[in-house]
Chain A
Amino acid sequence: MMYKYFGFFLTAFLVIFVAVCGWIYTIYRQEKALLKELKSLNANKSELE
Chain B
Amino acid sequence: MLAVLLRKDLLIEFRSREILISMVTFGAAVTLLYAFAFRPSPQSMQTFAPGLMWMIFLFVSVLALHRSHSLEKEFDAFSMILSAPIERSILFVSKCLSGFIFLVVAQVILLPLFFLFLQLPLPSNLGQMMAVFLLVDLGISAAGSLLSGTVMRVRVNEMLLPLLLFPMVTPLLISAVKSTAAMMENQPFSQWQLWFQLIVTFVVVYSLVGYLIYDYVSEE
A and B touch in the complex (CB under 8 A): no
